[in-house]
Amino acid sequence: MSVQLDFSKLDLQDALDLAILIEREAEERYRWFVDLLGERYPGDAADFFAMMARNERRHGEELAERRRALFGDAPARVTADMIEDVEAPESDKPRPFMSPRHALEVAMLSEVKAWEFFDRALPSIRDADVRHLFEDLRNEEAIHQGLLEKQKAKYPESMEPDVDPEDVDTPAM
């Protein structure tokens, strides 16, 4: 269960720590999806989720570098129990043999969810630096949505499993 955050009390260090945790949570969830699905072939849903995990990691590392440059090794006051599924896809989303298009749609929902998080937080933010950071993060989420939208052309529109039904080994009841 997450602890309620008071956005009006965030300073820039707290906001950066929050953003880093959000990226880390998303990365970990995508990596968990890869483990659950198992990579079957290049370009499958697990491969797509692995790519998303790498992207989340890169964003988190960029934020961590910025945080270190500004605040060094100052201890974080924001903790993982203060967030829950901000950008991470919902844990019930992976399905056996899900199509890469389905995986893309799961990622799109997560990017929209993150955009909404930052957008909803903005009216409560009093610190100008935090406001600027959250506006930048919200804008990045919109850019990520655009990039995913462009990737849709690479995948068939089907959300159906990407395996022939006769190839699914269904255990006897």
Domains and CATH numbers, the chain: 7-81+91-158 (1.20.1260.10)
Mean pLDDT, 10 residues at a time, the chain of 173 residues = 76 97 96 93 92 97 97 94 88 88 94 96 96 97 96 79 53 42
Question: Which residues, 6+ apart, have CB-to-CB distance to 130 below 8 Å?
Answer: 7, 10, 11, 12, 14, 15
Evaluate the CA torsion angle 77, 80, 81, 84 in order and state its sign. positive
pLDDT value for 167: 53
pLDDT value for 95: 87
Separation CA 128–CA 132 (nearest Å)? 6
pLDDT value for 165: 47
pLDDT value for 109: 95
pLDDT value for 147: 95
pTM for the full model?
0.87
Separation CA 85–CA 90 (nearest Å)? 7
